[in-house]
Structure 1
Amino acid sequence: MSSLDPSNIERSDPATANEAFKLLSDETRLEVLCTLWEVHDPAEEVPVRFAELRERVNVDDPGRLNYHLNKLGDTFVRRTEDGYVLMDAGKRIVRMVLSGTAIDDPEIEPVAVDISCWYCGGQPEWSYREGWRYLECTNCDARCVESFPPGVISKTEFPPSGLRGRTPIEINEADRIWGAHRRASVMDSVCPECAGEMPITSVDTCADHQPDWDEYQYCENCGSIFWMLVTHVCERCKYRWRMPTLFYPSRHPAVVAFFYDHGIEFDLATYEQRMHLLGFEEELLSEDPLRIRISIRLEDEMLGLTFDERMEVVDMNRGG
């Protein structure tokens, strides 16, 4: 199978994108998209006839509705012999509206959740504001990165639509699953936002790493409590994701088997399991070529994995 040459793939024209936004700036056109979505059946695509669409959208002038349908045609709505259906681009627009991103701004006050702070073991509280899920410890002022307020042990993006119909505990669980899949996608170099190529752009190691582990405070030299950080940037939409190297061994079969042999089902299935990551030992073997060794110790046994600049395992050993 031959591979595609990226240079031959047509890039999005900014003028085309601007035209698309102009098309959607009209309230009636958005109502048409949402109406077609309401009657859309994922299992069976049934076109909506003009008369029914006019009644649902509540447009008195048929010429006016026809004008807006023509504007949406070939981009968001397809006309068939039996009526009108949403094209994939139209479905994506409605899904974005339904997700509430950049539209809704809900807030959920802090509520205690049945997990432990992976820094001090204290009681965290879950809250939601400005499109972000916060997990804050009520017992310590841990600050793993400079951009986090004191006490925030975890902060992730989560769409407002995920809040609907769920209790805070259920939202917290959904967020954990949502975040785990997005993180896995990033580690596989696929952008969780647009599915574009998302390669590693840098693996940064702090030359003078001095975090305050007694108070769980970040190193002032690099702004993180973690010594080594990996950055991925999407080549398509420029979405950026940064995370510790410690996450990369978590999905390797040898690591899962190593924990399982010691009676631990390790898959980061719970927030408590993240405390295992803090016990991983890192060593910079060489800078050129980059080689990073991450060792995991359980009881009287040790598993060591060596990673290259793409955070792929190039060597592994297990012993006492």
Structure 2
Amino acid sequence: MSEEDNNGDSETVKDALSVLAHEIRLDIVLALLEGWAGVHTEPRRFSELMDAVEVKDSGKFNYHLSRLQGVYVEKVEEGYVPTAAATALYRAVLAHRPTREMTRTGTIAGVCPDCGGSMVERYERSFLTYECTDCEGWTGVTYSFPANGLRGRTAAERQQAVMHRADYHIGLARTGQCPFCAGRVQVQFDPQVDWAERGESPAVELVCDTCSWLVVVPVLTPLQFEPRVSAALTRVGVDPPLTGFHTVETSVERVSEDPVHRAVTAETGEGTVTVVVDDELAVQSVDGVASG
């Protein structure tokens, strides 16, 4: 994204948020969302909305309602309906509303996939993090998780929930679509990193061109959503879903320049799987060799 594009997006975001900077406008949006049913939401008439937000001055009410139109409210023949943008913002607020469990740290049941040691769970700034307390061989797992997801879940349920959430997002991002804003997702390999020297599995970065979504994951993680890859991995003893709690010995080699293709090789005691991908992680070929 260019600096000009970024500045333009920032102004758009500021304008959209500033529209809500009045209690009457917030009341209008909330009143419209009470009957939300997607595209089947029943419109509410002007007078009905006025009564719902308890505003007596029709001119004043009309001014605030008109300010919402275009981003959060749409006028239709039968009245007014909320837009998907209004719903998305409402859901985001509910997802991240403060809870008693906003900051937590503690040892959880489970073992480090590298050394078998104890794992610690930490929740800070709306991110769930899992780390080993006994070694540095496992880089751990961190992913954003709304505070609302902490409610009523045990430690094991939280761990499963955040992994399911990350898998869903990564699977969608692999197709080139951001799981949050539907913008284009770029795949970035870092050729300067010597993963073997660092003792880590080769990683790839998925980053949205539009919003702030970004994730760095082992290169096998997004590839597991390709049926040919998951089938080949299963044959050598690796059962998807692959999460940050799995370690598979993996290497990446650049095998052609024009077009750029990379061979991703996973080795287990039961065999080897080699997946050739392009710069966008599109699978070109899958080869598996069983041991023995």
Give the drift of 1:156: 0.8
Matched residue type, 2:162:
D
- Provide the residue aligned with 2:162 in structure 1: 175
Q: Which moved more, 1:67-76 or 1:39-48?
A: 39-48
- Cα deviations across residues 41-69 of structure 1 (Å, max 9, x unaligned)? 34842223444433432334444323211
Deviation at 1:17, TM superposition (A): 4.4
**Match status 1:68 vs 2:38:** no
Q: Does 1:266 align with 2:266?
A: no
| 1:171 to 1:62, Cα distance in 2 relative to 1, 3 A | farther
Whether the 8 Å CA contact 2:223–2:281 is kept in 1: the answer is no
| Corresponding letter in the other structure for 2:279 | E
> Any stretches of 5+ residues in structure 2 without a counterpart?
1-6
Which shows bigger deviation, 234-243 or 193-202?
A: 234-243
Q: Does 1:302 align with 2:269?
A: no
Opposite residue 21 of structure 2, the aligned amino acid is S
Matches within 5 A, 1:194-205: 194-205=181-192
**One-letter code aligned to 1:186:** A
* CA RMSD between the two structures: 3.3
- What is the TM-score of this pair, normalised by structure 2? 0.79
Cα offsets for 1:186-243 (capped at 9, x unmatched): 22221222111112244424258522x5xxxxxxxxxxx34x3323332333643333
Q: What are the ranges of 5 or more consecutive residues in structure 1 without an aligned counterpart? A: 1-10, 145-152, 214-224
Q: Quick one: distance in 2 between partners of 1:162 and 1:77?
A: 29
Match of 2:112 in 1: 117
Correspondence list, 1:202-213, <5 A: 202-207=189-194, 209-211=196-198, 213=199
The answer to whether the 8 A contact 1:115-1:271 is kept is no
Q: Distance in 1 between matches of 2:104 and 2:12?
A: 41
Residue correspondence of structure 1 range 238-253 to structure 2 within 5 A: 239-253=213-227
The C-alpha deviation readout for 1:93-121, integer Å capped at 9, x for no partner, is: 32232222xx6475142344443211212
What's the secondary structure of 1:251's corresponding residue? coil
Does residue 155 of the first structure (1) align with residue 129 of the second (2)? no
Residue identity opposite 1:53 in structure 2: L
Change (3 A) 1:238 1:184: same
Q: In structure 2, do the counterparts of structure 1 residues 166 and 52 end up closer, same or farther at CA, with 3 Å as the change threshold? A: farther
- Superposition deviation, residue 84 in structure 1: 2.7
1:15–1:291 distance in 2 versus 1, CA, 3 Å = closer
Identity %: 24
**What is the distance in 1 between the residues matched to 2:93 and 2:24?**
15
Question: Does the alignment pair 1:36 with 2:32?
Answer: yes
Q: How far does residue 311 in structure 1 lie from its aligned partner after superposition? A: 3.0
Q: SS at 1:204's partner residue?
A: coil
Distance 1:24 1:155 in 2: 32
Cα separation, 1, equivalents of 2:13 and 2:252: 46
Residue 177 of structure 1: how far off its partner (Å): 1.0
1:236 corresponds to 2:205: no
In 1, Cα distance between the equivalents of 2:24 and 2:164? Answer: 36
Q: Is the 8 A contact 1:203 1:309 kept in 2?
A: no
Matches within 5 A, 1:83-162: 83-100=79-96, 104=98, 107-142=102-137, 144=139, 153-162=140-149
